[in-house]
Homo-oligomer: A and B are copies of this chain.
Amino acid sequence: MARAKDENKVIAIYEATLKLVLENGFTGLKMSKVAKEAKLATGTLYIYFKDKEQLINALYLYIKTEQTKQYFWDYSETDSFVSNFRKLWFRVVEVGMKQPEYAIFMEQYYRSPFIKEDSKVQGEALISPVYQLLERGKAEQLIKDIPLELLVCQLLGATNELINLHQEGNFKVTKVHLEAMFKMSWDAIKN
């Protein structure tokens, strides 16, 4: 875990790591390159993180926390389901498109030998509000009565792919496209 010494360095390390994972996946990720990218000596990295595994798991939690903050900062549970669903859907897509590294990292993390079960569980707990919202939609009979897991597949599968499509850069995603994608997702789950 990062010591409180220099929070800026921790962030620099996270960003360096994300940049490199974006470029080459976990396979090309070398501690020395992370250090260089973060403008640190290799040894300094090990002051902040015990080893590579810890860096990666800490980064995972950092990303999950960041994403959650950005998803929910102006979220009000008292708003209507439909309003909240729409807000959240667009938030997920916007955040993902702004920081595609996050999604890429996640994808690789789940299949890596670095993953630690408790970090994973901890990270996933952070997005429980998403599950709660969908539960509420079901309770209010606004969306289909289908296991949450499947609804999440449907919704996040589509948004993730959309983020990838944007990141690859061969297709320019416009406002109109976003509305069309949202419409499809809504049509998919609505009752």
Contact = CB atoms under 8 A, between A and B. Distances in A.
Interface in A168-191: 171, 177, 180-181, 183-185, 187-190
Given A108-B111, A111-B107, A112-B27, A147 B160 contact: no
Name the prevailing secondary structure of the A interface residues.
Answer: helix
Interface stretch (A5-13, A126-134, A149-157): A149-157
Which range contains the number of A residues in contact with the other chain?
Answer: 35 or more
Contacts of A24: 111-113
Contacts of A34: none
A161 interface: yes
B108 A104 contact: no
Given A27-B27, A108-B108, A188-B187, A154 B158 contact: yes
A27 B164 CA distance: 21
Interface string A97-122: 00000001001100111100000000
Contacts of A21: 111
Nearest to A170: B149
A25 B108 contact: yes
A71 interface: no
Nearest to A168: B110
Contacts of A43: 2
A154 B41 CA distance: 44
- Name which of A41, A112, A158, A171 has the most chain B CB atoms within 10 A of its CB: A158
A94 to B, nearest CB: 16
